[in-house]
Amino acid sequence: AQTVTQSQPEMSVQEAETVTLSCTYDTSESDYYLFWYKQPPSRQMILVIRQEAYKQQNATENRFSVNFQKAAKSFSLKISDSQLGDAAMYFCAYRVDTSGTYKYIFGTGTRLKVLA
């Protein structure tokens, strides 16, 4: 069964500093998608970044980047120049294709606190 593990329930970072959130997953598939979602206090789920497993190049979106290690099944999120607005729950997600149906499996989340 596919699983997603986020081993850091909570992380803190000083404003303007860099923080890395960890995520590992388990799958026997060779082609899949990985995502990081942000859930601010409003609880609206917002996509931060996504990675296609067949692409070796790590995805980047402005201050957000990932370190995708396919062999190790690791997908960490790096936030550079942290801002107060980055404070939120961050969920790592894996999308599996089951007979043409796409299911998202989420980790338990990491709560990020940004200290002024």
Partner 1 sequence: SQTIHQWPATLVQPVGSPLSLECTVEGTSNPNLYWYRQAAGRGLQLLFYSVGIGQISSEVPQNLSASRPQDRQFILSSKKLLLSDSGFYLCAYLRTVNTEAFFGQGTRLTVV
Q: What is the CA radius of gyration of the chain?
A: 14
Judged by CB under 8 A, the number of residues near partner 1 is: 22
CA distances (Å), 104 to each of 13, 20, 98, in order?
28, 22, 11
**20 vs 39, beta carbon nearer partner 1:** 39
Contact present, 90 and 21 (Cβ < 8 Å) = yes
Measured CA to CA, the distance from residue 90 to residue 32 in angstroms comes to 20
Residues 6+ apart with CB under 8 A from 114: 12, 13, 14, 15, 82, 83, 84, 85, 86, 87
Task: List binders of partner 1 among 65-104 (CB under 8 A).
Answer: 91, 95, 97, 100-104
Taking the complex as a whole, the smallest distance from the CB of residue 104 to partner 1 amounts, in Å, to 6
Q: Pick from 28, 43, 56, 57: which binds partner 1 (CB under 8 A)?
A: 43
Q: Pick from 50, 73, 78, 113: which binds partner 1 (CB under 8 A)?
A: 50
Taking the complex as a whole, the smallest distance from the CB of residue 15 to partner 1 amounts, in Å, to 26
Contact between 54 and partner 1 by CB under 8 A: the answer reads no
User: Which spans of this chain sit near partner 1 (rule: CB under 8 A)?
Assistant: 6, 33, 35, 42-45, 47, 50, 91, 95, 97, 100-109
